[in-house]
Chain A
């Protein structure tokens, strides 16, 4: 049985890693801010669910993966996609409904897919992605143990929210993952709210990591606004999965700074609550950590900020300049 880690101090990261993590978090933040702008300018439309505030979880987990690992997300998927490596221009073009988007303009915000980066979507329905992520884990064990086709074992990460942990599919999949010791990590981004429904009013048990106990899976609770904490637990969980010790459930306590979607007036969450969490902005806190530990100079930090800004600008330009899908291609991609 997996023992909770005895490491008491935060994970130690190198200067190089600090660069990667900071750039990735900043990319996620700036991308989502740009999406809001573009939405209100009418460049993207429909349902758009922004990730602002939760960046430490995406970066802290995904940046510790190998390229051949799988990530499966939900409708709040832009930043997971970026962390996994999908170029921002492809995600932006997708949001604009262009042929050059990663889903060829057919999917939109909630259906970001990339087979190249092993990003399995992008799902509109809560908990829908959990069985998909589990299928990827099953496939990896099959390739290794039955087909003897790979050396390293790719693992599967499933991102869900607090609401999904009340869904039947969550429990069904935890059971199978534990039963078959599948190489999967369930990451619950507990931002405490569905749309206007607080998690307290929806869950009989507040501590989501405890739900893993029912299936003999280690459940770890972590401060989702502190990237170093996230990095620590994710490395432990990745090690477990890759070495045949089975699944882990990570509950990251976090918060979305914006409403549920760009259509949500977000009136039920109190100002005090929002300010409480905005004061814990994971990016600002990480920058302070970087400066206090002399991981990066002020110059290097500014360079990263400039780089990210340019990447976003280029992504928007690319999306604007890209063509829409051809009309005669309406029925394309129906079948392989």
Chain B
């Protein structure tokens, strides 16, 4: 095969590509809420990005497949057509490289939203996130601010195995200099992402792939362009007197289901949606525990050094400790890399049964089972 023939291959393929200006084959709604106010989480995030991009020209989106492909999970749908390739930047597969680039841009006045296809992939860029983004403002004595957002899906999806399923809430939550938020519903998605983009500090937004497709009714207030949720404030989803459940992201929904079930038995649970991992709203948790005397934390990530561990510490570090009638129970993912086979994958993630069981145990005052072993 001569070099000339090979050149024909390359040229032929090159000419057949969609041109830059044509973009994708479909036309998309550029407003995310045509008429109804029943909004999917992915569209809630999309509208937040759209509004913030419009509001401030320094905001841009950088990541893999965010532009012409409309986003690997379609969160950036329509933005490329509206804002162009300079503000919605498709990158090569170079997490370390493009994350560092985004941080450097943030040092010097831009406000990038750096998308990771999943937060698993962000581990490739962890040095840039932690050492460049999180620590610089402290290290330089406050001269440089880093108004960057790192966002993408976090935690387990379905059958995507060990390298695609980790929850990073505890890891990022451990870092001074980072803010970390985890939206649950569409309201959270809008308010927290908008706050994150307007914040002058690095914010990690831990979304959830399963929740992208779930829809919620939104009020006019939530749909307004300046709707913000303060970072560091939890939300009480459901009030109750017998038991406090604390969770974040997708599992808030599970807690609500369990609370409904227990209500039919006369047990009234208080469900707290953390919304922010860091700073964590300890005040709301402590006040709730003082009222109910019993606490269950629910998370998807690994048990060691998890969010539940931190909440447990915050209880015994406060006077809420004296109000406990039973040891706290934590529901977590199993202490194994996420397996692929469907049956054991289900075991590795918290179920409604797990949460209900934990509630019953805390109501009985049982000593918690050691969480290190699976099942």
Contact = CB atoms under 8 A, between A and B. Distances in A.
B161 A273 contact: no
Contact of A197 (B65, B96, B340): B65
Contact of B161 (A46, A168, A267): A46
Given A97-B341, A273-B16, A196 B163 contact: no
Given A166-B93, A267-B26, A273-B17, A108 B159 contact: yes
A203 B92 contact: yes
Contacts of B342: 45, 97, 324
A318 interface: no
B161 A330 contact: no
Contact of B25 (A222, A268, A324): A268
Contacts of B93: 126-127, 163-164, 166-167, 194, 202
A325 B90 contact: no
Question: What bracket does the count of chain B residues touching chain A fall in?
Answer: 35 or more
B164 A167 contact: no
A147 interface: no
A268 B68 contact: yes
A110 B341 contact: no
A106 B163 CA distance: 11
Contacts, number: 154
A250 to B, nearest CB: 13
B336 interface: yes
A331 interface: yes
Contacts of B347: 327, 330
Contact of B334 (A110, A168, A331): A331
B1 A229 contact: yes
Interface in A156-190: 163-164, 166-168
A320 interface: no
Interface in B172-188: none
A148 interface: no
Contacts of A223: 1, 5-6, 9
Contacts of A293: none
Contact of B90 (A45, A127, A201, A331): A201
A287 interface: no
A272 B373 CA distance: 55
A135 interface: no
A125 interface: yes
Interface in A306-336: 324-325, 327-331, 334
Contact of A325 (B65, B70, B121, B339): B339
A328 B375 CA distance: 8
A206 B7 CA distance: 11
A107 interface: yes
B94 A110 contact: no
A295 interface: no
B344 A330 contact: yes
A221 interface: yes
Contacts of B120: 124-125
Interface residues of A, number: 55
A106 B161 CA distance: 8
Given A47-B164, A164-B93, A201-B90, A330 B339 contact: yes
Contact of A46 (B10, B14, B24, B160): B160
B271 interface: no
Given A201-B90, A330-B336, A124 B163 contact: yes
Nearest to A203: B92
Given A196-B65, A267-B26, A329-B344, A272 B16 contact: yes
A66 B14 CA distance: 37
A246 interface: no
B318 interface: no
Given A127-B93, A194-B93, A111 B64 contact: no
Interface string A197-225: 11011110010000000000000011100
B72 interface: yes
Contacts of A273: 13, 16-17
B69 interface: yes
A310 B343 CA distance: 29
Given A46-B158, A273-B16, A105 B92 contact: no
Q: Which of A126, A127, A272 has the most CB of B within 10 A?
A: A126
A330 B375 contact: yes
B284 interface: no
A111 B17 contact: no
B65 A194 contact: yes
A205 to B, nearest CB: 12
A226 interface: yes
B156 to A, nearest CB: 11
A253 to B, nearest CB: 6
Contacts of B81: none
B124 interface: yes
B335 A270 contact: no
Contacts of B13: 192, 273, 276-277
A21 B92 CA distance: 34
A125 B340 contact: no
Contact of B375 (A272, A276, A327): A327
Contacts of A47: 160, 164
Given A125-B121, A127-B93, A272-B16, A107 B340 contact: yes
Given A105-B340, A267-B25, A324-B341, A196 B158 contact: no
A18 interface: no
B69 A197 contact: yes
Interface in A119-135: 123-127
Contact of B335 (A45, A226, A325, A331): A331
A98 to B, nearest CB: 7
Given A97-B159, A194-B93, A268-B18, 16 more contacts: A105-B339, A105-B340, A108-B161, A111-B162, A111-B163, A111-B340, A125-B124, A166-B92, A166-B97, A167-B94, A168-B94, A195-B72, A201-B90, A221-B6, A268-B24, A334-B336
8 contacts: A108-B160, A168-B97, A196-B24, A201-B68, A221-B6, A324-B342, A325-B339, A334-B336
> A-B pairs with the 5 shortest C-beta distances?
A196-B69, A46-B159, A97-B341, A108-B340, A166-B92
Interface of B: 1, 3, 5-6, 9-10, 12-14, 16-18, 24-26, 64-65, 68-70, 72, 90-94, 96-97, 120-121, 124, 158-164, 334-337, 339-344, 347-348, 373-375
